[in-house]
Structure formats: C-alpha cells, structure tokens
Structure 1
Amino acid sequence: MQIKKRYPFVPVLLIVLAINIFFTLAGIFIIAFIESPETKDAYKEMGTLRSIIKQVASVIFQAIFYYYTLNHYNKLMAEKRSASHYIRFTFLSIVTGFAYFFLMHTFLPQKNPASVKTPPGLYLFSFVISTVFITGTSLLLAYLNNLRDEKKQRKILEAQKMQLEVDKAQANFKFLKSQINPHFLHNTLNFLYAKSLPYSAELSEGILTLSDIMRYALNEATGSDDKAPLKDEIEHVRNVIKINQLRFNNDLNVNFEVNGIVNGIEIIPFLLITVVENAFKHGDLQKAEYPIAIKLTVEHNRLSFYCHNKKKTGPKEISTGLGLDNIRNRLDFAYGTTYKLLIKDEAEFYTTQLTIDKL
C-alpha cells in the first residue's frame, strides 16, 4: 500500500532553518554578555567561512534527516509494522546521524582556543547524545502526529456512522409513515371521538389526546435542520402525561414545570419525550411523596431539562439503554460540544439532566 508523504520537504526545511536561526541568535546574544578570551574567539569563529559552511551543511542534513525519518516512521505506524521494523530503522538512523557528526568533526572541526583541550571521549559522547536526540525527536514527533491523525480519523468515522444511523432511522420512519395513511387514522380517531362524546367525556378526551399524539408523531418536524418547535415538543410531553393519567385514573404523581420563553426556539424532535417515557416506564409514579419532577427552563439562549423519578420496586422491565444511547448520538450530531447530558443512576432514584447552549 502506497502511503502518502505526511511531511512535505519544504515545510520541514523551513522549520529546521527557523530553529537553527533562533539558536544561532541566542548564542550570539549570550556571547555578547560574557567577557572572556574564549567567548571573543568563539564570536570571531562564527563569522568565518568554515563556520558558515558548517551551519549550512547542518541545516541541509537536519532537513533531509527529519524529512526521511518522519515520513518513514509515519509509514511504519500507518502500516502497523512490528517493533523489529522500528528497531532496525532507528538503528540505521542513529548510525547515519553518528556518521554525519563524525564527518563534520573530521573535515570541519570546531576551532577551540589553545587553552581548551577537549578529550576524544567527550567528542564521542557528544556524537552519541546528538544522534540519539535528533532520532528520538523524529520518532516522538511522528508518534504524536500519528495519534492526532488517528483521533481526527476516529471522529470522522464516528460522524459518518452517526449520519448513517440517522439516515437509516429516517428511512425506517418514512417507510412506516408510508404504510400508515395519516388522514385515514385521523379521520377514524375523530369519528371515534365524536361517537364517544355522548357516553364518556373521559373516553372522548383520551381519543382526542391520542389523536394529537399520533398527529405529532407522524408529521415531519416543521423547523429547519430537522428540528421541531420547542413549544410543540412541550405540548407533546403534556399529551403523553395526560394519556397516561387517563390510563391510571389520574393517580400518577407528575410535576411538569416550564419556565422562560419557548416560542421561536427549535430542538431536535422527540428528545424530551424519550426521557419522560423512560421515567414512566421504570418509575414509581403512585407515591405522592415521590412524584416525577420534570422541569424545563429556557434562559439566555440556553435550555435546561431535568427529570427525576423514584425507581419501581419489585420485578423491573429489562432496559436495553438504546433510547438514551440514541439521544446521546443525536445530541452529538446536532449540537456537538454545546450540550451536556448527565445521567445519575442511584439505587432508588434516577435523574437525567440535559443542558443545551447556543440554541
């Protein structure tokens, strides 16, 4: 597999050149503040032709060395090669660097004052340290950039996967809608509502509420970007609460509170109702001292939604968690980093807190 060069030569050369210029200027600055015969000799040496040739050769070697090692390490990481490949290439890189420093010392040696005697062992040690440093730097840079690239690629793949799931869900929903004639359903429910009026106000109210729920569930979101008006979402929650109260003879203890101005605000549809339905499914709603507390607040272009309920005792329905996973995926897709979803699952209580900024 052909791996594209991750690090072009010209940017590598420019970065190496900039680093060398910085350290050269720093050296000149330090020498200027140190008064000694050795520093004066060093200052004079910096302006010689030999020193200039040495600096140019150093920049060219470093640029070629980093260009080759960075791209080869990147290739090894992309191809998931074994440790032996890294060891072999690192060894060759160290040998190359060592040979360069040895040749530079042989043909363009550092001119030291007569009073300064440098032991050969110190030169050898400096060669090893310099070679290991530039090779290690190259490996570290390649590794860090590879981590960043992998993280970026994972985010892209997750976004694509999420989009596929959204597209699949929308396709399934459209297919379901195509199998149901909304007009027939609404007309049938309206007929049943009219027929039930003389016999039971409670029954007729339930049919009317069910009609509103089905209408909202079958209609596409009318807002932009696949979002629905918040006021419609709130009304849908109220209707679901109402139909459940009718099912249980108004014995359910539910407190639903809305604060702030909700007109003109849109959110992704069926977001709130998923949390509420989860509370109805798994919560103990018949104890007055532990009502379901549902609170929605809109303030300063920020939505806060809170749902708290006591868990049922005894046998519990099996929960797959797919509903909340779906919520999190949809929130990720629609709001990115501008939301927070906190779920607190305690022994007796369950709490969901959702915050969306920049509505």
Structure 2
Amino acid sequence: MNTKQFINSVILIVLHTFFWVGVYFFYTYFLGYGSKNTAYVNNFALYLMPVTIIMSYFFLYVLIPKYLIAKKHGLFVLYTVYTFIVSFCLIMLSILYGIVFSTDLTINDSKPLTKTILFIILGIYMVVLVVIAIGLVLSSYKSTLKNEDLKTKFLETKLQLKEQELRFLKMQIQPHFLFNTLNTIYGLAIQKHENAPEMILKLSNLLDYILYQVDKPKVFLMDEIAHLEDYISLEKMRFHDTLKINFIKNIQAENVDVSPMLLIPFVENAFKHGVIVNNFFTINIDLKVTETKLYFTIENNYNKEKENIQGGIGLENSRKRLEMLYPEKHSLEIIGKDNIFKIILEINF
C-alpha cells in the first residue's frame, strides 16, 4: 500500500467513525427525548448500534454492489427481504438485551424510554435507509468519475492513434512523392537539360519541404502553392512544349494555414496518370481560397481502360488524411468520365 492509499484509508475510517458516532447520538436523542434516565438511554443505544452497523454495511458492500448495481434486481429484492426478516429478529434481540442489561440504570418514578418498540425499529431502519441512500449517491459519483476517466483515456488513446496514423501516412507520402520527383529529374538528366542548376535548386526546395516542413501540423497556404509551382516547373522541363497547363489562382486570403502537402499529391497524380492527347499533355488547375473555404479542382486526360479512377497510394493517403485533418469539414469528389479525370476538393476552415 502506497502513501496515497494509506492516507485515503485513514480518511475513510475517520469519516465512518464520525458517522457512527453521529448515529449513536441520534439514538440517544431519539430514544431519550424528554427522559431523565440519561444513563439508561445511553446504555440502551449501545445495544442498537451493532445490528444497525452490520445491516448497513451488508447493504452497502454486499447487496448493492453485487446485485443492485450489477442489475440482478430479482436477487436483490429476494435477499433484501431475507435481510429484513433476519434483521428484524436481531433488532428484537438487541432491544431485549438492551432492556434487560439496562434495568439497573433506571430511576424510580421516571420513564426510561420515550419511544415504543415500533418507533425504535422504525428509527433503526431509517438509519439503514440513510446509509443505503448515501451509498447509492457515492456509487453513482464513483461510477461517473470512472466513466469520465475511461472517456478521457479513450479520447487520449484515439488521439494517439490518430497522430500515429497521420505520421504513417506522411511516411508513405514522402517516399512516394520523392520517388516520382526523382523519376522526373532522371528523365531531365538523361536529356542533359541546360536548366540543370535551376532544376536542382527547385528539387532542393522540394526536398526541404517534404522532409522538414511536412512534419509541421500547419503551413502557410502560400508556401504550399510555392512548392506546388516548383513541382510544376520541374514537370515543364520534362515535357517541354507538349505540356499545356492552366493554373488559375484566386487567393483572397493569403494568411490561411493548411496541412502540408495537401494539394501536391493531387497534382502529382495528374502528371503520373495523365496521357498525351493530340500531341499535348493537358492539365487544368483551379484554386480559390477565401477566409472560410478552399476550393480546388484539377483535371487531366487519362485512359479509362488502363487507369483506376480512384488512383494509387497518393490519392488514398490524401483521402485518409483529409478525413482525419478536416472531419466533416471537407468534400472530395473523384470523377472519371469520357477519358477526363477530375478531382474536386472543398475544405471549410
């Protein structure tokens, strides 16, 4: 037993002691009100204490927790009836012993007790009922505290699992995005592109973003857009004149924070799964941001016979991240129709 448990046990014993001392004084007042036989009343009250205490604790620690709280109501009623029958017999014996062993303390021409046997029995049962009521209140309070504690632990565990899942998704997104970016650089290196220094600088910025900035819970929207444009620039170098990209931005609130790598996976997916049609690789991007909402659409050509419109790891992870980061505050629609692949994302801040 540690110190805290010991202190709690001592406090509990003291509280119980004070309660039963109070019950004893109640008996002396209840039984002897108007009587001059103080010694007789005090002695008689002592004989009523054991049966009162035994019956009270039997209800408090046996019948209530094992049957009433456990919702075994039939057994609780049955054992309660048995308890009252047995306790009635014990009360009558206590009264008998109290009368017999207190006789020598009587005073001539003075009534020792001012209450009849019926009132004495009712007084004992009243004390037991008070103990039962207190026990039920305390049990309900403890149950509430326990439920709140369990609820808190559940929420903490749920939050920890959510954070772990988010970290896992980020760990998947980072190498996935990096792998595709390096493939782009590889293609440019084979071509011995003259803009290699600029290409490496943009790659450095992208690597800094996906390796360090992504660990932050939020980043500035303008930073997300800047790195999005760096990625598009790299792809432009790879596709040369065949890339036809329309990026329309309508930023009405530049101080908005968003989750890192919120939009890049969708753009990356368009480059990865898009196809060239009529000698052009066409991607249309529309981004509108206000103080309360982000609206993002991206569409590209794709081969519906070869590609799954739900996409691969990137889109699946993005969908899960959105569900955790913006629960009930976003909508993500993926549409594949007439060889046009379109993603519509709306987020409410």
- Normalised by the size of structure 2, how large is the TM-score? 0.49
Choose 1 or 2 for highest CA Rg: 2
Q: Which has the higher contact order (CA 8 A, sep 6+)?
A: 2
- Normalised by the size of structure 1, how large is the TM-score? 0.48
